[in-house]
Structure 1
Amino acid sequence: MIASFLDLLLRWSHLLFALVWIGHNYANVVKQPTFMPLGGQRDEPSRSADLEARMQREHGTFRYASIVVWASGMAMLWQRGWLPDALLLQGPLAVIGMGAWIGTLMLLNLWLVLWPHQKKVLGFVPAPMEERVRCSRITFLSSRTNTILSIPLLFLMLASGHGLQLF
């Protein structure tokens, strides 16, 4: 009974927070399909405390959703006893294992590449305008990388349970 409840909780948290994380990426692609460099005319003093708080909350929700997605996915694999074979890409678990590795790369890209640069772009960390403009390109490319990686990730996650015979 407890194992069934844990499995249900992990599945739903994985799905719900994946929608938040990947949905944020997809929304950004629709909202801004091409790169637009950060303009040098941004007026920092006019940015309100309310806007700053909303941006912090939005980006925090997005970032921490990625951790919940990754942790719940790894927990599901561990709970079933699949984690070692999946991560070593062995047997029929190689399919979901590839999805797990892509998800891990996406998480690392978000936390180690995108977020440190995005903090400068958004003004959460002081940086000269030239650095902020440079970082805007890096954040754009890093975000698009995660969006593109989400397509094979979703395919591999679904193929592991629905269509494994294709592999």
Structure 2
Amino acid sequence: MDMAMLDLLARWLHFLAGVIWVGHNYASVVNRPRWRPLAASDLSDPDSPKLKEVINREHGTFRWASVVTWCAGIFMLWHRGWLPGALQLQGTLAPIGVGVYIGTLMMLNVWFVLWPHQKKVLGLVPAPVHERLRCSRITHLSSRTNTMLSIPLLFFMASGSHGGYLLR
């Protein structure tokens, strides 16, 4: 496979995985526009419709989509020789660099804040009901944080190709 084809593949992986990752967050906002707390009975009964609704969401897909999105983006920057300049926020690479930092923060939020708490909510990690209720609020806020961070992320991603001239 030549490098042009590899670059095209990375671009499409970055785009499609990003749509899945961020789209999951936007879908969550549309489906649950405000916080609806679970009751202790929702978590103590394994046949609870609310708990099943939470469990049936595609938890693994959006987590791994974050990794694919991030890796494909880093690969594209590295392949073009832009990674050091982007990470150092140099010149016209500064906007894409800010996007890299926001995307990194979002991915870390998914894996080190949202997922550990979500595992407790889902009962994959044993926890008392009161802890699972507390964790459900944290997962909601963590998800909303990523949704809000995706707005500037998309702006800086686009300005890397379509607005970098503003920094000259």
Query: TM-score if structure 1 supplies the norm length?
Result: 0.92
Q: Unaligned 5+ residue runs, structure 1? A: none
CA distance in 2, matches of 1:45, 1:133: 14
How much does 1:163 deviate?
1.7
How much does 1:124 deviate?
1.6
Matched residue SS, 1:46: coil
Structure 1 match to 2:131 = 131
Q: Does 1:96 align with 2:129?
A: no
Q: Give the RMSD, CA atoms, in angstroms.
A: 1.8
The 5-angstrom pairing of residues 10-89 of structure 1 reads: 10-42=10-42, 43-46=44-47, 55=56, 58-89=58-89
CA distance in 2, matches of 1:38, 1:131: 12
Moved beyond 6 Å, runs of 4+: none
Contact 1:38/1:132 (<8 A) preserved: no
Contact 1:38/1:133 (<8 A) preserved: yes
Q: Unaligned 5+ residue runs, structure 2? A: none
Name the aligned partner's letter for residue 107 of structure 1.
M
Name the aligned partner's letter for residue 44 of structure 1.
D
CA distance in 1, matches of 2:131, 2:125: 11
Number of aligned residue pairs: give it.
163
Amino-acid identity (%): 61
Structure 2 match to 1:3 = 3
Contact 1:86/1:96 (<8 A) preserved: yes
Structure 2 match to 1:107 = 107
Query: TM-score if structure 2 supplies the norm length?
Result: 0.91
